[in-house]
Amino acid sequence: MIRERIVAIWEYKKLTAKKLEELSGIDREKWYALRKGGRRANEDDIESMVKIHPQYALWLVSGQIAPEAGQTSPEFDEANRNLTAHGVG
């Protein structure tokens, strides 16, 4: 599940493996392998993603969100963006 959530953040934020490598210090080939399911997410991957996008920390590790505490998910953020774009909220 955590691997899928990392990939969801990666895709939602339109990151490249090169950019993830720059931001995290983790080799881009490792990011590619993670994305393709060739390896499991490890502590370094999780820690890096939390440092890059702290607003997703709770969701990344638990699948839960707490918008009142600034803890959301890519899906929540996309829904909010769509509502705001359509004049709702």
The C-alpha atoms of residue 78 and residue 89 are separated, in whole angstroms, by: 13
Q: What is the pTM of this model?
A: 0.89
2-60: pLDDT as tens digits? 999 999 999 999 999 999 999 999 999 999 999 999 999 999 999 999 999 999 999 99
Domains of the chain: 2-85 (1.10.260.40)
With both helix axes pointing from N to C terminus, report the angle between 2-12 and 74-85 in degrees, rounded to the nearest 10.
30
